[in-house]
Amino acid sequence: MTIIEAMVWVSITSMILLAITQSVQYFYRSNTYAVEQAAAVSSGQRGVSEMVRVIREAAYASDGAYPIVSMATSSFTFYADIDSDPFIERVRYFLSAGVLRRGIVDPAGDPPVYTGAEVVSSVSEDIRNVEKATDLFQYYDKNGVPMTDLTRIGEVRFVRATMIVNVNPNRLPNQFTLQSSAAMRNLK
């Protein structure tokens, strides 16, 4: 083998190895994003399912308060039994920095009062409702008419939750919209 043959052989081998390396890197970059997006959508689906299940179970508080405390387009506070104990907890779902969070306050004392610290946990991440100017919660009265006056908590009977999930809004694929709804069963 001459020096020229060796140089040609090394050059061809180097080009083949470079092409293989770049292909593997591209494959991992594109699959990483797909896996991250799939995980975010799965987390969003679990979050919406859990949230709607809890909203359906809204109930009068352990101290006798009305089931709904407050409602807004990006937060909803109400009472529900989420842990099957004898007491009803105050539950708040809200968006904070692209994360859907749940805050829980357990009642304490006799008679029960809700003055303890709220325990906040993350439900779903990569929520892009704020960037897309989409309300997380929409409220409807007994006739199915969308409510615009969110101070009239006694009239709400139906809640729709819409979550826009996207790991990186600057890359394709575009956002994935999850939507579910709940009729509040225990309202009089």
pLDDT score for 145: 92
Domain boundaries, the chain: 3-183
Q: What is the pTM of this model?
A: 0.78
Distance separating the N- and C-terminal Cα atoms of the chain? 93
Sequential pLDDT tens for the chain (188 residues)? 788 888 889 899 999 999 999 988 888 777 777 777 888 888 889 989 999 999 998 989 888 889 999 999 999 999 998 887 888 999 999 998 889 999 999 998 888 888 889 999 999 888 887 776 788 999 999 888 999 998 988 889 999 999 988 877 676 667 888 999 998 887 76
Q: Looking at the chain, how many residues does it have?
A: 188
187 contacts: CB under 8 Å, gap ≥ 6: 58, 67, 157
What is the rounded CA–CA span in Å between residue 115 and residue 24? 56
pLDDT score for 188: 65
What is the rounded CA–CA span in Å between residue 165 and residue 188? 35
pLDDT score for 91: 95
In this structure, the number of other CB atoms found within 10 A of the CB of residue 124 comes to 25
Tokens of 99: 């994360």
